[in-house]
Structure 1
């Protein structure tokens, strides 16, 4: 059994679209998780023309197919940059260093899978050399904003007993603060090296990238006594693909095209609360 999930921007999901899709796919009775925003209906088997149907409604809603069994997950593993926050921290630091455009170009190519993540990170961090350590607090205060729906996602899953982890190829100086603001149980990231109150232009080894995110999934599920199938993971970049492919539910959130192409679950219209709708939570259940 599967659930066909339809998620749109608040107030824009047309009931006639839900009805027509349900009739065309031969689905069961539609249920609204949030009026005008999220609806779903059961389906006995996965449709062969899923991608065609997705494309037909792509400008109106996110159409996803979710297995019924084990739908509500016991762990959340989330990327930070452009996922739990709306920016890329290293790009914002680079703006302060006067090399913003150059670093943004490298970041975009790395997140799209065009560049080796570790090499791209090393190159970008080198351009931050001699920035005062105080710039980190300044960037956090002035340039970083949380992605809508993140607090509700984390709070709701924790209220249901789930464990939440922020895992990033970015930096601990940012993940520690974002984890605190959003309510994550744990965070993992790279460490910017500082000497004499200034950034050295280097990052501590080993560098946490794609493999480290998979390792976090393996280690933490084992520690909790659950399986990888019990986890939901969310990210937007190429270095997230490993954990997105291994988790029970792997969600590409407003992701790069190359990342979406490799993910079964894609969210382009909704915010982070879409991960709750995908698990079958109604808006009235949000913490």
Structure 2
């Protein structure tokens, strides 16, 4: 069959079982779809349901109703080309669980103030670049050594992050970390997870302390989109061969431009616009969307 509906649960919130998939298959058939046999990518956690005869968006709408009692993520798409060859990923609140600028602000006693601005910027309520300059200015005088302390004590990797990058890279995909955060952190996160390259903003330092300024031009929404396009061209890939994932408003242009754009536990504006959403699972959901089995994961 030419299409597949992938359903992913969270074992901590209750497994998916054969009965649930049978109910979903019946609902699809009642809507006019031809449905194949379910294929478990991870027993109780993720499964593919092949189908034809109805549009992917219609299949997703049916899944939302048929599985309404379960905590699941779902995506319907064409089978051909579902394994992508380029990964463009956001860092803060995507590949790691924190916002680095908020954690840096905590060392200056400003976390509540800075985090409130970060939240508004990520929701798309503030201009990202202006908000970044203003937040960085508040960090003026912070010791350069705090950067390493922040990384060591505060940065935690999102479950599934390393498996996502390592598995895609092992299967020939190019993986790039592109962040509106800072190169001090992206370099270390990229090295730990296995990204091929990283791009972010450069914090200015003088005399062992932050100057309160950041190098221009700022890496924001347009720079992330440009990175997606430039990398696709450099690698000789078509747009549909790319996967972009993020959570904030500055990720939206690249998410919309990618072959598969994923809103990961995202802000409402991003989740509403993205083709795919992960609200239940971890970052391995992106591997299941591409047809990888849990047994194939590399971490």
TM normalised by structure 1 equals 0.96
Q: 1:173 to 1:55 in 2, by over 3 A?
A: farther
Within 5 A, what are the aligned runs for 1:44-123? 44=52, 45-46=54-55, 47-48=57-58, 50-51=60-61, 53-54=63-64, 57=67, 59-123=70-134
Q: Write out per-residue CA displacement over residues 95-120 of structure 1, whole angstroms, 9 at most, x where no aligned residue.
A: 11111001111111111111111111
**CA deviation profile, 1:74-99 (whole Å, cap 9, x unmatched):** 11110000000000000000111111
1:153–1:276 contact (8 Å) kept in structure 2: yes
Distance 1:230 1:82 in 2: 24
1:129 aligns with 2:137: no
Q: 1:258 is matched with which residue?
A: 269
* Structure-2 separation of matches of 1:98 and 1:54: 44
Residues 248, 185 of structure 1: CA spacing in aligned structure 2 closer, same or farther, 3 A cutoff?
same
Bigger mean CA deviation after superposition, 61-70 or 30-39 = 61-70
Q: Number of matched residues?
A: 287
Long gaps (5+) in structure 1: none
Secondary structure, counterpart of 1:69 in structure 2: coil
Deviation of residue 15 (structure 1)?
2.5
RMSD of Structure 2 on Structure 1 (CA): 1.4
**Structure 1 SS opposite 2:262:** strand
Q: Which residue of 1 aligns with 2:5?
A: 4
Q: Does 1:240 align with 2:251?
A: yes
1:37 correspondence with 2:45: yes
- Separation of aligned partners in 2, 1:278 and 1:124: 36
Q: Hey, what's the Cα distance between the residues in 2 that align with 1:126 and 1:54?
A: 45
Kept in 2: contact 1:54–1:62 (CA 8 A): no
Does structure 2 retain, via aligned residues, the 8 Å contact 1:57–1:63? no
What is the alpha-carbon distance in structure 2 between the residues aligned to residue 49 and residue 153 of structure 1? Answer: 26
SS class of match (1:241): helix
SS in 1 for 2:244: strand
Is 1:25 aligned to residue 34 of structure 2? Answer: no
- Alignment match, 1:282: 293
- Given that 1:111 and 1:239 are in contact with CA atoms closer than 8 Å, whether structure 2 keeps it comes out as yes
1:191 Cα shift? Answer: 0.5
1:213 alignment partner in structure 2? 224
| Aligned positions of 1:135-284 closer than 5 A | 135-284=146-295
CA deviation after TM superposition for structure 1 residue 14, in Å: 2.8
Partners of 1:149 and 1:167 in 2: how far apart?
A: 18
CA distance in 1, matches of 2:65, 2:226: 34
Shift of 1:55: 6.0
Q: How much does 1:247 deviate?
A: 0.8
